[in-house]
Amino acid sequence: MLILHGYWLSLAAYRVRAALKLKGVAFEERMHDLSASHHNLPAFRALNPAGAVPALEGGTPEPLTQSLAILEWLEETYPATPLLPPDAAGRARVRSMFLLAAADTHPLAVPRVQKRLAAQFGADAAAGREWAAHWYREGLSAYEGLLHDGATRCHNETLSLADLALASHLIGAERFGVDVSAFPRVAAVGTSLFKLPEFESSHPQYQEGAVAP
């Protein structure tokens, strides 16, 4: 049995959780309270020395880490319900759209960055939210330029890793108070995606340990 080590608020864990559901792969999830620094406990560091969620245990000799690395492994190991296109150019486009959220945005807004802003620049919670919101808006603007009018999916009207990333981006944007309606193509794809039970039920707000905003 695969074990997903997550945290209710983790957007990277969200991407993996939703993919496991889309592929119909059985898994259990164990939640770690990162707000109480449980990622620094020896048992968790043994699982992932980098102290980050998600980690996927049970499919490989060592636990897998980093959402895109886990998702590529899932794609290779459980090819049913493919989440990458059949053509190399399409795969590149999907991976590029994935990284727009997972590399260019999300890492800029995570708690360790918020903590560093406070430590180095004295940023209070409001300044930290403003910082995060700025990057989510930048990412939304980039997505808006990549999506097509009338689209309900990021690429070729077929579900892909890019949709998992966009959904996670929208969850982050909402959390930091960004008005997504200013990005109509993104908003349309998001509305369509969250109608899917796998996307909706994986939302952080429904996970164990979730705290209302």
**Residues near its own copies, by CB under 8 A:** 49-50, 52, 60-62, 64-66, 68-70, 72-73, 76-77, 88-89, 91-93, 95-96, 98-100, 102-104, 106-108, 112-113, 116-117, 120-121, 123, 127, 130-131, 134, 138, 142, 145-146
Beta-strand relationship, 27-31 and 64-65: unpaired
Question: CB 101 → its own copies: shortest distance, Å?
Answer: 10
- Considering the complex, state which of residue 111 and residue 209 has its C-beta at the smaller distance from its own copies: 111
**Residue from 92, 213, 97, 72 nearest 165 by CA:** 97
- Encoding tokens for residue 2? 């695969």
Question: CB 96 → its own copies: shortest distance, Å?
Answer: 4
- Considering the complex, state which of residue 42 and residue 49 has its C-beta at the smaller distance from its own copies: 49
Q: What residues contact 95, with CB distance under 8 A and at least 6 apart?
A: 68, 84, 161, 162
- Considering the complex, state which of residue 1 and residue 62 has its C-beta at the smaller distance from its own copies: 62
Q: What residues contact 81, with CB distance under 8 A and at least 6 apart?
A: 22, 23, 24, 159
Question: CB 25 → its own copies: shortest distance, Å?
Answer: 14
**Residue 118 burial class via C-beta count within 10 angstroms: exposed 0-12, middle 13-18, buried 19 and up:** middle
CA atoms of 124 and 114, how far apart (whole Å) = 9
- Considering the complex, state which of residue 96 and residue 201 has its C-beta at the smaller distance from its own copies: 96
Question: CB 201 → its own copies: shortest distance, Å?
Answer: 26
- Distances, alpha carbon 123 to alpha carbons 106, 117, 135, 171, 196, in Å: 18, 5, 16, 23, 38
Question: CB 143 → its own copies: shortest distance, Å?
Answer: 9
Are 23 and 74 within 8 A, CB to CB? yes
- Considering the complex, state which of residue 99 and residue 196 has its C-beta at the smaller distance from its own copies: 99
